């Protein structure tokens, strides 16, 4: 936004949200580093559930997913999914999609909790991602589940490194614009996740994007793209 006198003139972001930028940034056919998924035990825990807007005690099927680099991630699937077979399928779907994310985004993910219904995923810098499965069909149909997971893993693994960096704040200021409405709505919390997806798209997937999409990304946030290319160059964006 530019401030002219007392008036604020904002140039609109080119996209509504990162998951609407392009559905092919990561597709269901892209490889995953998931190797094994094993059921461990039933646990009880208090975990935030967006349906109740607070942490509530619930029972979970706990799985351990192992990835190619040897890292393990816990998948706790709410027993609201009724039986272990269904829960296993659900855990597998999300564990596979997590394995499709770049290594620098996976590295801090420790635990993923899946509630059987509800909307709105969340993630924190302690490595926890909470998924409300009520959004699954919608995002699956849009082929945007992978981009949604990408967004959440930025919160777990990159937010802290970027959001307090003076160079990042300068890039934000110099761009004078946001990549998505969502980033603009909460620049302190969502801009890194939204902009990093755009950076990944133009850096690693330019062959899948239309020229128009590339132009819109590069035109909106050139300073942020330059910032990311210095801090997380292309060779660090692999699986």
Q: Which residues pair with 108 in a beta bridge?
A: none
- The minimum distance between CB 180 and Zn ion, in angstroms, equals 11
Of residues 87 and 190, the one with the C-beta less far from Zn ion: 190
In 3D, which of 148, 106, 173 has the Cα closest to residue 21?
A: 148
Instruction: Name which of residues 180 to 219 contact Zn ion (CB under 5 A).
Output: 190, 193
Give whichever of 22 and 190 is closer to Zn ion, judged by the CB atom.
190
Instruction: Give the ranges where 5-157 is alpha helix by DSSP (H).
Output: 84-99, 103-106, 136-141, 145-157
With respect to Zn ion, which residue has the nearer C-beta, 76 or 191?
191
Complex with Zn ion: residue 80 or 187, whichever CB lies closer: 187
Element (H, E) at 60: strand 54-67
Beta carbon nearer to Zn ion, 135 or 190: 190
- Cβ closest to Zn ion, residue 50 vs residue 190: 190
Which has the closest alpha carbon to 47: 34, 56, 35? 56
Nearer to Zn ion, 156 or 213 (CB): 156
Q: Residue 169 corresponds to which tokens in the numbers above?
A: 């704040």
Footprint on residues 117-156 left by Zn ion (CB under 5 A): none
With 0-12 CB in 10 A as exposed, 13-18 as middle and 19+ as buried, what is 44?
Answer: exposed
**Size of site (CB under 5 A) for Zn ion:** 2
Distance CA 112, CA 98 (A): 10
The tokens of 195 are what?
Answer: 């902009």
CB of 134 to Zn ion, least distance (A): 17
- Least distance (Å) between residue 189 CB and Zn ion: 7
- Which residues, 6+ apart, have CB-to-CB distance to 82 below 8 Å? none
For 172, the token pair is 């934000």
Min dist. Cβ of residue 162 to Zn ion (A): 13
Provide the minimum distance between the beta carbon of 151 and Zn ion in the complex, in angstroms, as a whole number: 5
Element (H, E) at 161: helix 159-163
Residues between 23 and 42 that touch Zn ion (CB under 5 A): none
Cβ 155 to Zn ion shortest distance, Å: 6
CB of 190 to Zn ion, least distance (A): 5
Smallest CA-to-CA distance from 49 within 82, 25, 83, 77 is with 77
Q: Which residues bind Zn ion (CB under 5 A)?
A: 190, 193
């Amino acid at each position: 936004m530019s401030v002219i006198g007392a008036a604020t003139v904002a140039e609109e972001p080119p996209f509504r949200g990162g998951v609407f930028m392009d559905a092919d940034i990561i597709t269901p056919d892209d490889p995953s580093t998931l190797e094994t998924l094993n059921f461990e035990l039933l646990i009880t825990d208090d975990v935030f559930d967006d349906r109740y807007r607070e942490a509530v005690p619930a029972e979970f099927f706990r799985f351990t997913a192992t990835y190619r680099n040897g890292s393990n991630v816990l998948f706790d699937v709410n027993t609201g999914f009724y039986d272990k077979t269904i829960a296993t399928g659900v855990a597998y779907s999300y564990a596979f999609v997590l394995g499709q994310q770049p290594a620098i985004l996976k590295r801090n993910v420790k635990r993923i909790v899946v509630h059987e219904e509800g909307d709105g995923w969340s993630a924190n810098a302690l490595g926890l991602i909470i998924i409300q499965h009520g959004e699954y069909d919608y995002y699956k149909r849009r082929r945007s589940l992978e981009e949604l997971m990408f967004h959440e893993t930025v919160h777990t693994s990159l937010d802290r490194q970027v959001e307090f960096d003076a160079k990042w704040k300068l890039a934000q200021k110099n761009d004078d614009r946001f990549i998505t409405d969502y980033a603009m709505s909460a620049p302190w919390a969502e801009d890194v996740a939204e902009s990093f997806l755009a950076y990944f798209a133009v850096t690693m997937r330019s062959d899948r994007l239309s020229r128009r999409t590339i132009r819109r990304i590069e035109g909106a946030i050139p300073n942020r793209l330059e910032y990311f290319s210095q801090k997380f160059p292309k060779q660090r964006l692999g699986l």
